[in-house]
Amino acid sequence: MMKPLLFKSYIGYLLFFLASVPLTCYANFSQNLRWSLDGSFRLNLNEALGNTSRIYALGLDTHKVFTSPTGDIGYGVGQLYYTKLSNHIPVPFLFTSKDDSEFIIREAHLNYTAGPSWFPNIRVGHFTLPFGLEESIDTNGRLLDYYHGKNLGTKLDWGLSLNKVLSQIEYNVSYTLGGKDKAKSVDGSYVVTARVGSLSHLDFVLGLSVLNGKIDGVSRKRIALDWQYYYASWGLLGELAIGENNNQLQGWQEEKYSLVELNKTTINNQLKLYSQFIFKDRESQQSADKLVNIGFSYQVNTQFELSISAGMQINTPVSGKKKQLARVQIRYRY
């Protein structure tokens, strides 16, 4: 059953598209509109839990540039996915049981870009929090993961952002409501996030991010440094975040997180291999978690992609059960 608020928000987004048609003298609605159907099947083998699960997703991915005779006004992105779980544990927050199904809005936002060169673009809607590597490398719908949601409390949130690409730097500052999938503040939730970095298309990218917010009753403060370096078909990426969480029961607890990734892409861009080392340390835990991920994605053609990843915990946690997760995903965009 689709959540009424999500449904209304998405319909609102579509209505904005339609309402904009008469305003855009240059183009009719179908012009400058990209859309595709995006279907995926994901198989998860969780050794630590002794569980095998599947996730099926089918969605509509849209992108529309709004124009006037003198130039672009802005663009909108809308992604609505029907997602079905099968024996998936732990149950993600958007679902109520391990076999639940839901309509999920991923990205749904409008970005106004027509201001003067010094004036920031203004984004409104449901978008990825501008923090760390995820700001320039999108992992939505992929096995590749930079643990954005786990570290910050949510990956996407409803709100407003000011963003711009300048000649030497790019920035993105957002205020969001902290309701995650809900377009409202829940029990005083809010998130202020910001990232400033060098231009993300360059061979060396450096970014600084900060976050201050409260989601699900947990207050979080973070500061992070991210970097990317590319040489020929090799890439070396990293993110280092430090901060603290306050979940009211334990008070403020320090958190440290770091990720280092080495990746290699074939010269025709079809095959991408990556390996990651992740270090997570929480003051409340006896020992730090150390994880290793390896994986690849193979783009068979414009539509079809196969991805496989495997993750393993190096240290032994108190429970004695090391995390071991293997995943396979087939994705088809039509």
- Binding footprint of another protein on the chain (CB under 8 A): 26, 31-38, 58, 60-63, 65, 67, 69-72, 77, 79, 82, 106-107, 114, 117, 128, 138, 140-141, 165-167, 170, 199-201, 203, 230-233, 265, 267-270, 299, 301-303, 305, 333-334
Q: Which is nearer to another protein, 116 or 320 (CB)?
A: 116
236: which strand partners? 229, 262
Q: With respect to another protein, which residue has the nearer C-beta, 57 or 211?
A: 57
CB-based contacts of 13, cutoff 8 Å, min separation 6: 76, 78, 108, 110, 125
Residue 168 CB, nearest approach to another protein (Å)? 8
Residues 6+ away with beta carbon under 8 Å from 215:
152, 153, 154, 157, 178, 180, 189, 191
Count Cβ atoms within 10 A of the Cβ of residue 141 and give its class: 0-12 exposed, 13-18 middle, 19 or more buried. buried
Between residues 62 and 245, which has the closer beta carbon with respect to another protein?
A: 62
Q: Which of 318/334 has CB closer to another protein? A: 334
What the block records as the tokens of 162 is 């000011």
Residue 73: CB minimum distance to another protein, A: 9
Least distance in Å: CB of 79 to another protein?
Answer: 7
- For the bound state, the minimum distance from the C-beta of residue 183 to another protein, rounded and expressed in Å, comes to 18
In the complex, least distance from residue 12 CB atom to another protein, rounded to whole angstroms:
17
Q: In this structure, are residues 39 and 332 in contact, taking their beta carbons and an 8 Å threshold? A: yes
DSSP 91: P
Question: Given the complex with another protein, which of 32 and 185 has the nearer CB atom?
Answer: 32
286 by DSSP, 3-state: which? coil
CA gap 178, 214 in Å, rounded: 7
